Amino acid sequence: MPGNHDVKPYFLQIRNWKIRNMVLLYWEAREMFLASRRLLRKDVFLRFDKMKELSDILFEIKEEHHLIFKRLVDLQKKKFEKSRKIMPDEIETEFMNNIGLLFHKIMVMRELKYLRDHYVEENDAFQKSEESLLYNLNKIEELFERGIEILKSLISRHKDNILLLTLLLEDPDRTKRHFGQDLNDMLEQFVDGRGLDEVYYSVGKFYAENGWNDKAKKMLKEAMKRNPGHQNAKAELAKID
């Protein structure tokens, strides 16, 4: 990545974990929002405490991002802070912008909801507050949908991140729920000319090396299922058994 020759080694060491965690937190935030959105369709508006919880998750993603990536300090000039952090690429910057917009839109909704619930307003002011709440709600939904497309690109950019790969594999239903694709379709991004058996093998080997034997067995057996002649998977499985 450009401009990363002077990055502190620590940031490079934790990058894969942080990116995995950001994707996971984004899923959690989107799931919480969609659950609240379903309630709204039943005429139950988002609760104030739920909006606070949602904004807290988004704030955590912001902090994770800013921990390893340089902050954008001037949008017009595309100027970043001077630090020994990682210079974000276009997709990483777009992801941060999406998170920032979501966070601030939800903060606005929290204020509007609090005013509506705790203070008496004239009818026209109340109506405007209601319209503003619904407007922001629709914008948040659009931002989350755009965020999913950004995440797809982010994952593709970080296809060497095996921790991201484990996240997709550990809960195939959740992966499909967010990305609208079967797991194998998502995994094609990680193949690079290899078969899917190699993807499962690499994850199984990673789990085995880190002592997660049950998970390792599951992945290695999947690799063997896809390619019964996979000698490396067979050998790795024998070490565990």
Every domain of the chain and the residues it spans: 1-158, 161-241
pLDDT of residue 25: 97
Per residue in 59-108, pLDDT (tens digit) is 999 999 999 999 988 877 888 889 999 999 999 999 999 999 999 999 88
pTM above 0.85, yes or no: yes
CB 201 within 8 Å of CB 56: no
Cβ-defined contacts of 66-75 (< 8 Å, 24+)? 67/11, 67/14, 67/18, 68/11, 68/14, 68/15, 68/18, 69/96, 72/96, 72/97
pLDDT of residue 185: 79
Which of 29, 20, 19 minimizes the C-alpha distance to 58?
A: 29
Per residue in 212-223, pLDDT (tens digit) is 999 999 999 999
Per residue in 148-164, pLDDT (tens digit) is 999 989 988 888 899 99
Portion of the chain with pLDDT greater than 90, in percent: 51
DSSP 8-state secondary structure symbol assigned to residue 86 = B
Q: Indicate if the pLDDT at residue 1 is higher than 60.
A: no
